[in-house]
Each structure stands twice: as structure tokens, then as C-alpha cells.
Amino acid sequence: MSDADVAATGRPLRVLILNWRDPKHPQAGGAETYLFELARRWVRLGHRVSWLTAGFPHGSARDEIEGIEIHRVGGRATVYALIPLYYLLRLRGGFDVIVDSENGIPFFSPLFSSIPKVCVVYHIHRRVFEENLRWPLSRLFIWLELRLMPFLYRDSTFVTISPTSREEMEQHRISSRNIPIVYSGVDENLRPGCKSSTPTILYLGRLKEYKRVDALVRAMPAILNDVPEAKLIVAGDGDQRPKLERLTSEFGLGRSIEFAGFVDEGTKARLLREAWVLAHPSSMEGWGITVIEANACGTPAVVADSPGLRVAVVDGVSGSVVAVEAMAEEILRVLTDTQLRERLAAGASRRAAFFSWDRAAKRMLAAIRRELEASRRS
């Protein structure tokens, strides 16, 4: 994307991102990667971008990341209550548009700001709420997402990241408007490299219950029966890590499973290049950024047949889409069949070439411009 591309669409914008975490947060995940890759490109094009988010231990209240102004307030339990106050007291009047990121529920910014808004929805969380929250809390969060959110944001633009997420949103009548899809891109520094000499399975992402990483731990004994030297690397952190480590110990898999914790970008790239296969057993994803990142490194993915993931992977071309119960068998097939693995690796590289962060940033800016124009007319 050139400067001319954006210059042709109008004056520089002042954009405020509301998201529960920022790129430096220890539990930053796909949503943070998505927004950061867009925001850093907007800054390079002359736009002003600020990011209002939750604090974390040892994180400063104010920060700057590649020209993006970071404002941190509260923590996990208080961020939704404190962000409206911080905005009204410190930031009101300084922006043209709010990009409100919905991670289960948005920040309900129409209640405290009158400027135009674009609400980014990665996927509908109803199933996650039902599986991970007890009644009546689960019902409350479902009502907030499927009833209150569409009502409060009825005059705003919704954007999502995959066809399956848009289908879910349309099914639940989240918006009466057209819902643009802005796919994630892939870092241009991610490219194929030397594979590990050890058959390596990689999980990369947050360790949450709905991610079902325990399914990979339980699959390892069957994999090791046929490939004794195989290794599973779990890169990422989250509240399920202690449970996963206990399960690993109970199965006697300490030598075959490595918990790498939160990894920096350089380590992530190395792990993606060295892995023979990426495994993603999650029950629900809006898309699958890590799948495309692995593909860019020539690494095919074996994923659970769940929303988002089944679209990110072209079954039989860039990887495999299977029932979570069948992942051990499919991972074994990829590890032991060299011809299959090489064919999928080639397909993975071709698949990744389709996705561009520059293109994504341009498409999201276009959605923002349309919202600003619609707001001006109304």
C-alpha cells in the first residue's frame, strides 16, 4: 500500500482503538496481532492512532509502540468500567472515530461517545460463554452480545475477519447493514526455513479452555507409539497452563512436551519455520492468524473442524480439517508421510501468499471512511 493509496481517500484520521489488551500484554493473542498490524500501517501513512486498554503487572500507564500511543487503565476485572471514565476525562474530543474491538463483548462506546464507531467482531462467543461460564452469568453475557450490542451499535459499522464469522453475525442479526470482511495478513518476514531434525508439532496461541490444548496432550501417547522421537511445543500462556502441565506430568510426557510460554516475534518465527506441523484444536475461532503464519513458513496445519479454522485451512491443500478426536491420527499421517507433508507445505506457502497486511489496512481504512461519510450525511 502506497501513501498515494491512502492520500486519495482523504485527510489523515485520528483513530482510537478500544481493546482489552495491547501488543505488549503477556496474554496478547490474535486480536491484538490483528489490530496492531493494521494500526502500525496507519501510523506510517500519517494517521494518528491511540490504543486504550487494560494494564498488566509491570506495564506502564503510558507507552508508545511504533508510533501508536498506548493508554493503560485498570486490569482484567476493571477495564470495562474504567475505560469510559478515562475516555471522558482524558481523551474526549481528540478523535474522529473509535475502533471498538469485541472480545466477547465490546466496550459499549455509544453510551459514552457520540463520534462514529467501527465495531470489530472476530466471532460470536455464545458457545464459548455456554461452555465456560455458569448460569446465570453465561446468559447475561449472551444477552449482552446478541441483544444489547446490536441495539446500541445499530448506527455503527460492523467489520469481521472471515466468512464464517459474517454468517454467524447475519444469523443472529447483529447488524442490518452489510458487514465487510477484512482478512488478516501475514508478516512479510515469515518465510520457509530449515525444519527441525526432530518431528515437531507446534501449538501457538493462548492457553484457554475453549482452545482445547488438552486434546493435544492426550493425543501424544498415540503419536509417540509410532513416532517415539516426536515433540510437542506449546507456545503461549493463559490460565489453563497449570492444568496442562499437570496433565503432561500425569501422562509421563515431560520429555516429549515443552511449554515455551509467551514468545517474542523472533522466537515465534523460528518455531513456525522449524515445526513439521501446526496443530490447532480450538472449538471456536474467528479466523486463524497462526494458521496463515505457519503456512507462510511452509508449515501445514492440522486443525479441528470448527468455525474460523475450517475456512483458514484449505483441507487437503494447506493442511487438514478433522474432528478433534481424529487429530492424533491426522498429525501422525503428516509426520510419517514425507510426500504428503511436502505437498501440503507447498500448498501452505501458496495459500499464505494471498494474505496481505497492507491490503487489510487499506480495506479497514475504507470501512472507516464509509462510516465517517455515513455519519456526516445522517
Residue type, 43: V
- Which strand ranges, in their side-by-side order, compose the sheet holding 14-18? 62-65, 68-72, 48-53, 14-18, 97-102, 117-121, 157-160
Q: Are 226 and 178 members of one domain?
A: no
Residues 174, 221, single domain; the answer is: no
Average predicted confidence (pLDDT) for the chain: 93
Band of pLDDT at residue 10, cut at 50, 70 and 90? low
pLDDT at 355: 93
pLDDT at 370: 95
CA-based nearest residue to 19, from 48, 49, 44: 49
Same domain flag for 287 and 364:
no
Q: Specify whether 12 is located in the same domain as 99.
A: yes
Question: Residue 117's pLDDT band (boundaries 50, 70, 90)?
Answer: very high
Same domain, 211 and 347: yes
- Asked whether residue 263 falls in the same domain as residue 327, the answer is yes
Asked if residue 21 has pLDDT above 70, the reply is yes
| 211 and 275 part of one domain | yes
* Residues 361 and 336 occupy one common structural domain: no
CATH number at residue 128: 3.40.50.2000
Q: Are residues 205 and 297 in the same domain?
A: yes
**Which among 264, 283, 298 has a CA at the least distance from the CA of 186?**
298
pLDDT, mean of residues 215-244: 96
pLDDT at 1: 42
Decide if 322 is inside a domain: yes
Does residue 191 sit within a domain? Answer: no
What domain range includes position 310? 200-352
pTM: 0.79
pLDDT at 289 over 90: no
pLDDT band at residue 299 under the 50/70/90 scheme = very high
Chain segment 197-224, per-residue pLDDT in tens: 999 999 999 899 999 999 999 999 999 9
Name the band, by pLDDT with cuts 50, 70 and 90, for residue 346. Answer: very high
C-alpha cell at 291: 494458521
Question: Please, which pLDDT band fits residue 295 given cuts at 50, 70 and 90?
Answer: very high
| 190 within a domain of the structure (yes/no) | no
Percent of the chain residues topping a pLDDT of 90 = 83
42 and 170, same structural domain?
A: yes
Q: What is the pLDDT of residue 198?
A: 97
Residue pair 211/306 in contact by the 8 Å Cβ criterion: no
- Do 363 and 309 lie in a common domain? no
Of residues 135 and 42, which shows the higher confidence score? 42
Asked if residue 286 has pLDDT above 80, the reply is no
Q: What is the rounded average pLDDT of the residues 260-287? A: 93
Number of domains making up the chain: 2
* pLDDT of residue 7 exceeding 80: no
Average pLDDT value for residue range 266-289: 93
Interval 160-167 mean pLDDT:
92
Q: Are residues 251 and 164 in the same domain?
A: no
